[in-house]
A = this chain, B = another copy of it.
């Protein structure tokens, strides 16, 4: 984010806070940072607020900006600051946590004074061209901790000028139409239930068909590439995660333990410990390596309910996970193969061009994980060398490593242009030590294997969310929940249409039928809305000629071709995992 835009956004946050104070002199203040696309400010209002309040506050903000008020910086001693904010408990908490000796600065804007590091624009007149709008009102815990006060957070979009805002809002509107939560409902792909619980998606038959196709695709591909697919339990004893270190480093994201006959069990946050237990179940030899354990592994993460979002952030998900145990001399080749597999998967899904690479390393300044043994340096230089060898372009992100090693993040841009991690490939020299893994070498000595933690298609829920948005529900034939809908022109044709449907089903084509006594126009419209790849229109002519009129969802072209030709085309399109619809050409 450009420095200038961040200053503008943060300055606008102060203007919002001032407007809030004018609206409700009793209001209490949280914090108000600049964020992607805008800013927010957290309040505890003494008056009731609603979406309508946003318009009132926005108008007030415009008035403040017109006034040409300066942002005045002042530095204070800790004592003076504590006195200044005596009535602001949240600000007091922040002041008390500032390290001894840190400069404490405040900014005054009209009647509003805020504890703030700055910088800000000089005066509200510098905000006159800014394009901004208060977008929504949400509940948020003070400092994101559910034990704290609930505050009202006001979100805003903010840009350098009105035109930029307009472009952004237009793009956002388009993206919202593709929002996987909206399409998930519209196309009946998944649902949530209050009684089941937040962040726990239930896949409908259609959504489940997509998931099953993706699951079989990745399992078959991995088995073909020498992976050993397994099934391991959804939970384990707390001691298992103490051994791995998850309990120490990761506990906040884990479910609470369950007591069973005096032993504590926890739903697994990751599946590596389970795969290590399989490895350890027998003495391994150098001849057996690499061993590539893989699983469609259920994983459980405790997320604050406020951060849950559709299939993107859930309380329970399924990762196409793998842990490759290999010798040090096999590491570079195994690593390359995992990248190649990920690339193959992205190609097959038709999203290869959206992908970028990020090397996530530890931050030597901050990291609590580095034990100073030199392992981190060794594994990071190995990772970077492997990336260079593959000729990949990548960025470097310090402080983004896992607690057991550096990783390659495969990043993908969503329809809003926001980057997200879809796949990670991690090097690990730490856990083999913690789990005391070994193998017998050709000299009959014992050696530790190295581990690669990796995914190939990512987390199924999140990848599905991404695919729904990327394709706006218009999936390629190979993973579309329905391939074809058969529309009849008259009642007489139904027996013929049923025979056609049965033939297609036997050929492995996913078929729906619309035999209702409705107009063809209506049937076509509904088929289009349901994003069905092909609509087959059957009437007396078709029955006589043995041909079939097929309408293509993407080209909107309708072609008539021999039945057998179309079936063969469609089967090939599915088998070859074609991204484009061409079976009616």
Q: Which residues in A have some Cβ–Cβ distance to B below 8 Å?
A: 146, 188, 191, 193, 195-197, 200-205, 207-209, 211-212, 216, 219, 224, 228-237, 239-240, 243, 255-256, 258-261, 263, 265, 267, 273-274, 277-278, 280-282, 293, 298, 302, 304-305, 315-316, 505
Contact = CB atoms under 8 A, between A and B. Distances in A.
Contacts of A505: 224
Nearest to A208: B230
Contact of A202 (B205, B216, B274, B316): B274
A239 B193 CA distance: 12
Contacts of A236: 195-197, 200
Nearest to A282: B188
A315 B233 CA distance: 10
16 contacts: A188-B282, A191-B277, A195-B243, A195-B273, A197-B240, A197-B263, A197-B265, A202-B233, A204-B230, A209-B229, A212-B219, A255-B258, A255-B260, A256-B258, A256-B259, A260-B315
Nearest to A146: B261
A184 B486 CA distance: 49
A316 B203 contact: no
B233 A205 contact: no
A331 to B, nearest CB: 22
A274 B196 contact: yes
A304 B212 CA distance: 35
Q: Which 8 A-B pairs have the closest CB atoms?
A: A205-B228, A200-B233, A193-B277, A191-B281, A203-B231, A196-B236, A208-B230, A195-B240
A261 B305 contact: yes
Contacts of A237: 195-197
Contacts of A209: 229
Contacts of A239: 195
Q: Max chain B CB contacts within 10 Å: which of A193, A282, A505?
A: A193
B205 A229 contact: yes
Q: Max chain B CB contacts within 10 Å: which of A196, A228, A280, A315?
A: A196
Nearest to A185: B281
A479 to B, nearest CB: 15
Nearest to A303: B260
A281 B234 contact: no
Contact of A281 (B204, B243, B258, B277): B204
A227 B348 CA distance: 28
Nearest to A195: B240
A208 B294 CA distance: 11
B304 A233 contact: no
B200 A235 contact: yes
A261 B150 CA distance: 13
A515 to B, nearest CB: 12
A347 B440 CA distance: 45
Nearest to A293: B205
A266 to B, nearest CB: 9
A235 B209 CA distance: 21
A482 to B, nearest CB: 13
Contacts of A256: 258-260
